Structure 1
């Protein structure tokens, strides 16, 4: 199966300068576990629930600490045409649960470990 058959279209994002409090609220409202972090419409990282938990554990002020401070900047992406098993292997190797999905140079959505598990379980 290919990435484009199972990914979630539409990129849920936050700005690099957004406070973690707003980032967490957006995740809660949208029922998602990660957001792409943008700097002037360019994706520079991804921030996940784990990153928010780390900030809470470090007792940072969630109203002033920004997304870019806690985002993962070693960004990996999945691409249209990529086999879902290859994407899953890369996610496991990197210890990550979400990959932004690119169609050419444009980020068009996200694929999660849950999406990939569903492929293996129900198809």
Structure 2
């Protein structure tokens, strides 16, 4: 049985709440990613996604110098690195999310698990479960 540590992406790019949304967008563009965990004083305090930038900033006319804290999501869902891939995939499907931060037993950020990680895990049941949960029309 595979754990999340086996399939997650460990090279996590981070931003801080005081950084600008422009900096966040540039980091997303250069790393070809759609979300960034937000850290403050060695703690995970939020997530900012490309969707947040579009809907919470651009759509409301906020400028590129707007702090990340003004558009980030603060209700953070996460999983543990020792959890089973299938269990996490089911949880992600129930939450309707395509990615989750991964923490260790001390709740330190150690990675990100995304739909693509689950899809490539070799666990077709987990991949199908997650896909069914997040690939729903709005």
User: Is TM (by shorter chain) over 0.5?
Assistant: yes
Q: Which runs of 5+ in 1 are unaligned?
A: none
User: TM-score, normalization: structure 2?
Assistant: 0.80
Q: Which runs of 5+ in 2 are unaligned?
A: 128-138
CA distance in 1, matches of 2:22, 2:114: 23
Partner of 1:47: 48
Shift >3 Å, 4+ stretches = none
**Structure with max Cα Rg:** 2
Q: 1:1-123 residue pairs with structure 2 within 5 A?
A: 1-54=2-55, 55-63=57-65, 65-105=66-106, 106-119=108-121, 120=123
CA distance in 2, matches of 1:73, 1:93: 19
Name which structure has the greater RCO, CA cutoff 8 Å, separation 6+. Answer: 1
CA distance in 1, matches of 2:71, 2:88: 24
1:9-59 per-residue CA deviation (whole Å, 9 max, x = no partner) reads 132100111110110000001111111101122110111111111121222
**Aligned residue pairs: how many?**
121
Q: Which has the higher strand share?
A: 1
User: TM-score, normalization: structure 1?
Assistant: 0.89
